[in-house]
A = this chain, B = another copy of it.
């Protein structure tokens, strides 16, 4: 039984759609035509590079994460960067790579939008749309996403409260799009030795308050490769429905976030650990429907995707 404080009761009264359903039970959301559903009890693993940099990097990484067992492929085309002088992503011209990667691997694909202008095009191409931390309270964008049916991963703001996060989800839900996935990615604190502080208490609490699926991004949470596996295991043990993990075939050459990206071998070791913990928890790692995947990926290619 969940105890309800005054703060919680206030949230409950306003975030009525985000908290609808049977608390503690998930409302599963289908991801692309992979057959994978987030929230059905399986652990859904999404992996891939921070940004899609070029064909070789993206396809090699895609092949590697698929081989290790990921069912979703991430890769940003529109990058929110703190400095205007940093690499800003491939933009629209990278969408073809997303489509091709999906066809070859059978994985569902996830990419980020930065403004309403990109939504129509991205919603048509991508299986899942991601709203980054800096845009969690970009209300016009949230309204636009309320009008499409594509699943939306809503990352928690850099320093957003759980209340604000649920109410941001409420904007999308109130617009008519019920496919909202909450993603904890670490919050800003005074600590300097890690990039952010992963708040698994929020993950656990949301699992009890809401029926929206809750995922965790351990890569941004700590910002350092050596801690990602520890936090990924912890997120699973705390009850995450999904993990999103940055993987790059050559982290040392990445155009962004290389210091927090696992290489394929590290990712494969992690997946094995996750399988064991999931089994101990009575859960299994979501896998791709082999037949559907095979049909899509008849043509082999040099990247062995």
- Whether the pair B189, A189 counts as a contact (CB closer than 8 A) is yes
Q: Contacts A201-B197, A233-B237 hold; do A159 and B161 have CB atoms under 8 A apart?
A: no
In angstroms, Cα B133 to Cα A158, docked, is: 12
Q: What's the number of copies of this chain in the assembled complex?
A: 4
A192 touches B231 (CB 8 A): no
A188 within 8 A of B: yes
A256 at interface, CB cutoff 8 A = no
Q: Which of A43-51, A63-71, A218-226, A290-298 contacts B (4 or more CB under 8 A)?
A: A218-226
A122 → chain B, closest Cβ, in Å?
Answer: 13
Contact A192 B7, beta carbon cutoff 8 Å: yes
Q: Which of B115, B186, B226 contacts A1 (CB 8 A)?
A: B226
Choose among B3, B189, B204, B281 the residue that contacts A190 (Cβ–Cβ < 8 A).
B189
B84 and A170 contacting across the interface, CB-CB below 8 Å = yes
Interface: A130 (CB within 8 A):
no
CB neighbours (8 Å) of A137 from chain B are 80, 82, 134
CB distance from A236 to the nearest CB of B (A): 7
CA distance A170 to B86 in the complex (A): 12
Contacts of A281 in B (CB 8 A): 233, 273, 276-277
Contact B192 A161 (CB under 8 A): yes
Cα of A1 to Cα of B83 in the assembled complex, Å: 27
In the bound complex, what is the Cα–Cα distance between A276 and B278 (angstroms)? 10
- Residue A90 is within 8 A (CB to CB) of chain B in the complex: no
Please give the distance in Å from A131's CB to the nearest CB on chain B.
12
- Cβ contact within 8 Å between A197 and B191: no
Taken together as a complex, chains A and B put the C-alpha atoms of A207 and B229 apart, in Å, by 13
Q: Are B81 and A139 in contact (CB under 8 A)?
A: yes
Q: Are B193's CB and A163's CB within 8 A?
A: yes
- CB contacts (< 8 Å) of A202 on chain B: these are 191, 193-194
Whether, in the assembled complex, A280 has its beta carbon less than 8 Å from a beta carbon of chain B, the answer is: yes
User: Bound state CA distance, A202 and B222, in angstroms?
Assistant: 9
Q: Can you give 28 A-B contacts (C-beta < 8 A)?
A: A3-B224, A6-B6, A14-B85, A80-B137, A80-B139, A81-B139, A84-B171, A115-B141, A134-B137, A159-B188, A187-B190, A189-B190, A189-B197, A189-B199, A190-B190, A191-B199, A191-B201, A197-B201, A198-B201, A200-B231, A200-B234, A207-B230, A230-B237, A230-B238, A230-B239, A234-B234, A276-B281, A277-B281
